[in-house]
Structure 1
Amino acid sequence: MGADAGSDVSFSATSTNSTRTKDIEITNLGNQELVISEVTVSGPEFSISSDLADSALSFNEEAVVTLSFTPESEGNYQGQLQVESNASNQATFTLELIGEGFADGAIIPISDARQVEFGTRVTVAGRVTVANEFGGPAHIQDNTAAIAVYWPELHSAAQFGDSVIVTEPVTEFNPVDGPDGDFLLQIAEHNGDDDITFEIIDTESNKVEPKLVTIEEMNSGIMKPS
């Protein structure tokens, strides 16, 4: 990714003692030769795996710095990436780093669960929008996003509108060979990890009503207000 100086680089919610990475591209757009003298990162949870110190980039040449975020405990974290160079427009280039760690068993927004690496165990809560009407998977949603849950015991026990809490790995239903992330994202057994639990909360059923949108609105991400 590219970023303007002073902007934020945000890491999605990351389980404790696991690592999430982002690649930052550094491109020489103004110097005949851009000499990078130092690259530093502050914040103990953030690190770089690409040391570009004392390197030089010709005009239009680019290099990549790999940032890592490894939270040791639950909470919000901040750090900073700083690049020192002979750039004619900005000798000191900084980016603000932001990350969030969550502990195993802590309920996180479904939108965050959809960003974790496959195999990461998550706990999410939401309303059932599909139970066993299609023979699985079930679908749940909160006020941030929705996700499929493939677990037959949940399909048969839950009803449309139930409030549930689910703990299990994030993976995908991939019926054919292809790159990860191209098929249905779901919470389900992953590489033998079938330690899956769920709880149906004893509360009043709330059946989520679908919102009518056009195909154009759906493709653009713009939805009509309720």
Structure 2
Amino acid sequence: MDGPVLSQSCALSLTCCADGGSLLSTKAPQVSGVRVQLEMHALWQQFDQLGTEMIVTKTGRRMFPTFQVQISGMDPTAEYVLLMDFIPVDDKRYRYAFHSSSWLVAGRADVAAPSRMHFHPDSPARGAQWMKQTVSFDTLKLTNNLLDDNGHMILNSMHRYQPRFHVVYVDPAPNSHLNAYRNFSSFSFHETRFMAVTAYQNHRITQLKIASNPFAKGFRTADPQDCW
């Protein structure tokens, strides 16, 4: 997919050690002090209380709410790559029970979709640039097309996912790949978890999306199912 290319060792570190764990104390100083605050936190919480749903389509659909963060604690002169990925919350597939307005386990999860990372299009950039304004992943799209060649994030419908945000320090040292695990920090926010769907199941989610999405004004008098 398009975007900066991470070394294989760095990509492996992101996958295996995303939560830092015992490695946190050994992180490079350029990332050890990084702090991330989720924007539109109250809105995300509203959706989370209802059970957030995100549409996936063959051609790709943008997320709403959009994943946006404010970052602090970077080295202003160091360069960073920002990226996101999505991991399954569990190993289950779900179905929506309309009579009880709730999600029920329908069986074991389908075979995992190909794992991808979405690079912020401004990557790489210096810490000073990332910290001066809100970082928005508004170009990120979700798809259920296993053969997608547009770089969209491939997810299975009726499965729950946790978005993860990664800050990667671009280490200029010639042997930086040997210490790849030191050069990133990862962040996730529980309230951003969602169910991937091809059509909204909970009508309250549809109503909240229409009411809070500034780009959905036309849908307030149209078919709500066509909304984000």
Structure with more contact order per residue of length (Cα contacts < 8 Å, sep ≥ 6): 2
TM-score by length of 2: 0.37
- Given the two structures, how large is their TM-score scaled by the length of structure 1? 0.37
Q: Which has the higher strand share?
A: 1
Query: Which of these two proteins has the greater Rg computed from alpha carbons?
Result: 1
Which structure has the highest helix share of the two? 2
